[in-house]
Amino acid sequence: AASCATLPHPQISPPSSTITMMGQVQISGSHPGSPCCGSSKPEAPCRMGPMATPTHGHPSPVAAPCQCQATEAALPDSFSFETRCLHADGHNKPMNSHVWPIFQTSTFMFDSPDQGADLFAGRAEGHIYSRIANPTVQAFERIMANIEEAAGSVAFGSGMGAVSAATTPFLKAGDTILIGDTLYGCTVSLFTHFYPRFGINSVAVDTSVAENVERAFAEHPEAKYVYLESPANPTCKISDIAAISEIAHRHGALVGVDCTFVTPYFQRCLSLGADLVLHSVTKYIAGHGDVVGGVVSAKTKEQVSAVMAWRKDIGAIMSPHDAFLVMRGLRTLPIRMEQLNKNGLAVARFLRSHPAIVKVNHPVFEDFPNHDIAVRQMSGFGSTFSFEMKSYEAAKALLENVHLAVVAVSLGGVDTLIEHPASMTHAAVPEDMLPAGLTRSLVRISVGLENSDELIADLHRALDLVDQRK
């Protein structure tokens, strides 16, 4: 068994084309026989290596130069988000595979005892054990780091694994974490039920007003971290990430943002000033309702190493098969987000016009709080939002009468899901932390890729039935 006491922190695979050999199996980088592999055999210019992780804030990355002195470029020098989703892991995949293979193995062979010792001591690069690193998982991490414009990304077996890893390595007993007052229920439970056991204090702040964060630091100078969701689950509360990051950094604190609701396609949290950004990839990034996973991306290599070390020791890595599925979903993220955004807007506007609906929580509307911030820091709104009905009984009746929408938790998939937050996803939120708007009459909907007219017709029929019961 691997010794956790002596094992060094895993290192991020470099973005340039390199060769890592396990026995006779090539894991990544240039293919054997190319000039950079030491062969004298003439070869055609090699295929594109993995794209370089761009300098933070650069709008589109520059391809990493190939190691084999190829005379012609494989692709132009800069790439769009869409192209990066497809090619950021490079074309030099193992065994000349077009799609990244699933390395469904728990452990990796060493060429010799000396090589094993060197790997454990950190003197050599390679793979040891899939709890530490796995080639399929690393392929997904490379793509994610590229599209987030991050120093690196670290994949987890669940979104909550990502929440834990984005915060815990940076806190110790006696520290305070300032948390948004509107968060996913299990996130609230982690911060309020478990962190106090380890001497970490959690203070809820309405982060939709940046001045509240400034006041919280004045009251809690020991605060080391600000954690928020924007848009927040389930009310879509918007926080000014740039303003909050400036305040936190001035007080020597980190900022972590859960961006699950809109993905990096619509919002680049690191470019806005956050230090870490996380997603439940179960949702939009994988996008097909068949994976549970999470990912954390960080601005500096030191932060990435801290997150990786935490994952190694708690054993929360994503499985190779899940990483394969997430990469498959990620390839179509841009076109899915565009259509989901359109469908979400159509449904939100319909609901706002129906007499059975009291209020629709969607940042597209100009009267929604912080609408101006939303349109400044996001290029789209996703398709998950909530709406208020006239009573709990009306909300329950709606869920009982929809036909196309599926009554289930989760969000961001290809089909429409609808749920009741107060009794489902946010049931773990203590009463003293219930955010404004999280009432028993609130319904959350994640609009899917169905024909929007048919989806609206189904909701119209169900809402009319609810209205007739008054």
Helix runs in 156-268, H state only: 159-167, 185-189, 210-219, 241-250, 263-266
Catalytically annotated residue among 47, 268, 283, 299? 283
93 catalytically annotated = no
Give the whole-angstrom CA distance, residue 383 versus residue 407.
Answer: 16
For residue 288, with 0-12 CB atoms within 10 Å meaning exposed, 13-18 middle and 19 or more buried, which class applies? middle
184 catalytically annotated = yes
283 catalytically annotated = yes
Residue 227 region by backbone torsions, left for phi larger than 0, else alpha for psi between -120 and 50, else beta: beta
464 catalytically annotated = no
Give the whole-angstrom CA distance, residue 277 versus residue 264.
Answer: 9
* 81, 265 Cβ separation under 8 angstroms: yes
Q: Which residues on neighbouring strands pair with residue 20, listed in sequence order?
A: 28
Nearest residue to 216 via CA among 255, 190, 263: 255
Give the whole-angstrom CA distance, residue 197 versus residue 213.
Answer: 24
Q: Which residues on neighbouring strands pair with residue 178, listed in sequence order?
A: 203, 226
Q: What's phi and psi for 446, nearest 5 deg?
A: -115, 105
Amino acid present at 424: M
Nearest residue to 351 via CA among 435, 237, 439, 467: 467
Nearest residue to 160 via CA among 132, 194, 137, 136: 194
Residue 357 DSSP SS3: strand
Query: Residue 397's CB: how many other CB atoms inside 10 A?
Result: 19
- The residues, any chain, with a CB within 8 Å of residue 46's CB and separated by 6 or more, are 17, 30, 31, 34, 36, 66, 67, 68, 70, 92
Helix runs in 315-358, H state only: 320-330, 333-353
Catalytically annotated residue among 47, 84, 184, 312? 184
Q: What's phi and psi for 190, nearest 5 deg?
A: -60, -50
Structure tokens belonging to residue 249: 């950094």
Q: Which residues are catalytic, by number?
A: 131, 184, 258, 283
